[in-house]
A and B are shown apart, each in its own frame.
Chain A
């Protein structure tokens, strides 16, 4: 199933957990609020004026308003308040690092209470329990315009939905066989359960006017030049599918693989017991992907999981909350150690890794000269993502101005090419968050709409 790990036993063979426990290890990490809990929690909201939580929300959800609607038992109203700002409000309620966004800015964090309103869980309550007879958003009269959206991840989906709402026809091109992007393939399994990513996309598409073509990969069987010719505008919502390499000898050895590739398989697995498990494993990285990988490996039955980061805990991009999840699952954290050599066994398979200990010398990461060896059956890398090989080598795409590796856009999400817009992870680094991608897609849709309307007037 995963060629690099073919030599390792399956979760079932490792047998740390019986099948039932294994399933429950991947059920909802934060169970939803009950109706009663939601009502009680909604009462805690102070309905702040110019609320700090709204300022902190990358997608501009009117949080006090939807919480007040929950408190008045108006669940559909609450859901609509959320979805009109963020059509993927359901998945954001699950995956947003609320602890560094809305919930961090909640005024109830003040000394006397130190406990924010559970905004994420309330948002989930509204979006999980809404019941609409038909899609809550209606399409404007047809504009006769047809727009191409490349990538059916959060940015692309959000852009497509808003464009459809504004009266445009949308065709989406998706490299994978399913829509959803990282929601479908990249989020830890216990963060989004019950096939929610698929259901959410189904709901989103109910608006009509959007069709998706799968297996369409930019730079492969899809050319930007063609799209620009055939469509009135193009939105690029590309993912960062390629994992950064360590740059060490033995990188191809069985037992070493990018964490995102493993998570993708894990997300789609029907039988968790069939997944290869490294009883002893190392995860290299310091972001949420590293945490997700380490935690999921522990929950599959690995007994010795070590997360290694070359700097200190304070520099980790994974939030405290995420780090706590990993620690609670028995993940050991080793900091100030960078990969030095992949250790192989006689068969040329991963046997462990040697790390060079590091320290911060006036802001520069410097080896101390000491080394550290950790034995492991597998090594998972989570040290950053980039564009997949050929996606931007397409003749037209190659012309796109870049900010570092990523695509340069202006404040209207317009790229350097006329009528080509971009948003989400593929544009210059923001926080690489689902919620931010949704916002990019939404704003880009409005920019596209305005530009097309201006053209029409000028004509």
Chain B
């Protein structure tokens, strides 16, 4: 009997996982020449290790996939015990750490699977991550093989922080701008499609790496790769996690905890006059549609996700697409491009901020639950700007002493009730004044 697998049954109203229009909004992207039905891509990592996972990801609706890093033969060998987590108090994973290497499967099998998957899923982005030693022959050998798969582009893994640097690859290259430039140059020489350079955050200034990639001819950069990390120590055995036998090593840190670091680095490149139009694929702790929107607003043309998928499965892309498209519709953005970089003009150096701006805290007494957290935070560690009063009926009342408040936001941050404390900009009657021009600045620039 000829049966149809359930998951291929179509019925009216069933969404096609590859639809670029969601809730009436077009989520498609053209990232450095790589087209995808949506900006949600899976980053090069365990979830993209083989055809089985990648097909499941496409079925779930991911717009693109960066295949787990290919390398030279023989393939890497991994240890057992590979991941660890930095937990919040409620066992929610705040940060995630791994000591896995690049693919531990043969190049031949990977290339074969990539070819087949691209053939079966022509509408989705398929990018191949590569890491081979820092010599021209190695790149000249592998790049034609990858080109033959039909994949849409490559991503250079110059950021892997563990295992590979010891072999002169990964972060060992990514931390050296000259090597970034050189490897990128070889890639452009031996490969005709888009080349994305993945940057390591384990450096001092992310812009240097991006500039080097651009000099080498890169079509785009992606960032951040993972951050060197030790997540926790087993205090009984005095060894870090993940524990291999009785030892451990540092791993690569990712997940929600790295998002603020990644966003700053994305913004640094987006704001850099040396790389003003260099496409950026944003990576680092993206777990929700809002995270993605924030990365895009800071200049990302696509976003890559790994940890959130590893913790929840591929299905999360559905909520991400739904949330992002609804928000875009509400804001009137008809494409990803329409709001990409929108937050960049407002992201500046400290010295350009208005020194005359003043905001102060306001406590909504109806919402206040009298926990006293704002009071003790301000009293102990800030500017003693909250008064603790007692009403006639014994109730506590906390009031901002407006003359003392410097508008630091600490009370608002520590308040457990949403919208109870708001920061209210004040009318000072003073003109905009940047520190550059402030008379109090000994190095001021005459305006």
Residues of A within 8 A of B (CB): 39-40, 43, 46-52, 71, 107-108, 110, 112
**What distance in Å separates the Cβ of A30 from its nearest Cβ neighbour in chain B?**
23
CB closest residue in chain A, given B377? A49
Whether A47 and B373, one on each chain, are in contact in the complex, defined by CB atoms closer than 8 angstroms, is yes
Bound together, the chains give a CA A404 to CA B367 distance in angstroms of 45
For residue B24, CB closer than 8 A to chain A, the reply is no
Q: Are B372 and A49 touching (Cβ within 8 A)?
A: yes
Residues of chain A contacted by B370 (CB below 8 angstroms): 48, 52, 107
A112 CA to B367 CA in the complex, in Å? 9
- Residue contact A49 to B416, C-beta cutoff 8 Å: no
| Contacts known (A46-B416, A112-B417); A71 close to B373, Cβ less than 8 A | no
Nearest-neighbor residue (CB-CB) of A47 within chain B: B373
Residue from A39, A43, A108 within 8 A of B369 (CB atoms): A108
Which among B367, B373, B388 is the interface contact of A48 at CB below 8 angstroms? B373
Once the chains are docked, how many angstroms separate the CA of A255 from the CA of B320? Answer: 71
- Chain B contacts of A48 at CB under 8 A? 370-373
Top 6 A-B pairs, shortest CB-CB distance: A49-B372, A49-B376, A107-B369, A110-B369, A48-B371, A107-B371
Contact B372 A43 (CB under 8 A): no
**Cα of A112 to Cα of B418 in the assembled complex, Å:** 10
Question: Is A46's CB under 8 angstroms from B373's CB?
Answer: yes
Q: Is the CB of B371 within 8 A of A46?
A: yes
Residue from B89, B367, B369, B388 with most neighbouring chain A CB atoms (10 Å): B369
Kindly state whether residue B90 has any CB partner on chain A within 8 Å: yes
Write 6 A-B pairs (CB below 8 A) sorted by A numbering.
A40-B90, A47-B373, A48-B372, A48-B373, A51-B371, A112-B417
Query: 11 new A-B pairs (CB below 8 Å) besides A46-B369, A51-B372, A110-B369?
Result: A39-B89, A46-B373, A46-B416, A47-B373, A48-B372, A49-B371, A49-B376, A50-B388, A50-B396, A107-B371, A112-B417
Distance in angstroms from B111 CB to nearest chain A CB is: 47
CA distance A361 to B183 in the complex (A): 97
Within 8 A of A (CB), among B365-422: 367, 369-373, 375-376, 388, 396, 416-417
Q: Give the Cβ gap from A414 to chain B, nearest Cβ, in Å.
A: 29
Which residues of A are found within 8 Å of B367, using beta-carbon distances?
112
Cα–Cα distance between A48 and B371 once the two chains are bound (Å): 5
- Known interface pairs A48-B371, A108-B369, A112-B417; A43-B376 also in contact (CB < 8 Å): no
Q: In the complex the two chains form, what is the Cα distance from A52 to B372 in whole Å?
A: 10
Question: Chain B's nearest CB lies how many Å from the CB of A78?
Answer: 15
Q: Which residues of B contact A40 (CB under 8 A)?
A: 90
User: Contacting B90 at CB < 8 Å: which of A39, A49, A107?
Assistant: A39
CA distance A3 to B417 in the complex (A): 60
Which residue from chain B places its CB closest to the CB of A52 in the assembled complex?
A: B370
Bound form: Cα–Cα A43–B87 in Å: 13
B375 to chain A: closest residue by CB: A49
State the CA gap A110–B367 with chains docked (Å): 9
Chain B nearest Cβ from A207, distance in angstroms: 31
Residues of chain B within 8 A (CB-CB) of A52 are 370, 396
Complex Cα distance A267/B26, Å? Answer: 72
Q: Which residues of B contact A107 (CB under 8 A)?
A: 369-371
Instruction: Let me know if B369 and A49 touch, CB within 8 A.
Output: no
**Which residues of chain B (300-333) have a CB below 8 Å from chain A?**
none
Would you give the shortest CB distance from B420 to chain A, in whole angstroms?
A: 9
Measured CA separation A50–B390 after assembly (Å): 12
Q: Is B373 a contact partner of A49 (Cβ separation < 8 A)?
A: yes
* Complex-state Cα separation, A309 to B253, whole angstroms: 66
Shortest CB-to-CB span from B399 to chain A, Å, is: 15
Greatest chain B CB density within 10 A among A49, A107, A112 is at A49
- The CA of A46 and the CA of B375, in the complex, are separated in Å by 13
Name the CB-closest residue of B to A36: B91
Chain A, residue nearest B88 (CB): A43
Complex Cα–Cα for A40 and B417 (A): 19
Would A43 and B89 be within 8 Å (CB), given that A49-B376, A112-B417 are in contact? yes
A40 to B372, CA, bound (A): 22
Contact residues in A for B369 (Cβ distance below 8 Å) = 46, 107-108, 110, 112
- A43/B90 in contact, CB under 8 A: yes
The CA-CA distance from A278 to B188 in the complex, in Å, is 94
Question: Once bound together, how far apart are the Cα atoms of A43 and B367, in whole Å?
Answer: 21
A349→B186 CA distance, assembly (Å): 107
- A residues in contact with B371, CB < 8 Å: 46, 48-49, 51, 107
A50–B417 touching, CB < 8 Å: no
Query: Hey, which chain A residues are within 8 Å of B416, CB to CB?
Result: 46
> Are A71 and B89 in contact, CB atoms less than 8 angstroms apart?
yes
Question: CA of A49 to CA of B376 in the docked complex: distance in angstroms?
Answer: 6
Q: With A and B bound together, what is the CA distance between A47 and B375 in angstroms? A: 12
Assembly CA distance A49 to B380 (angstroms): 11
Give bound CA distance, A40 to B373, whole Å: 20
Separation of A40 and B89 alpha carbons in the complex (Å)? 8
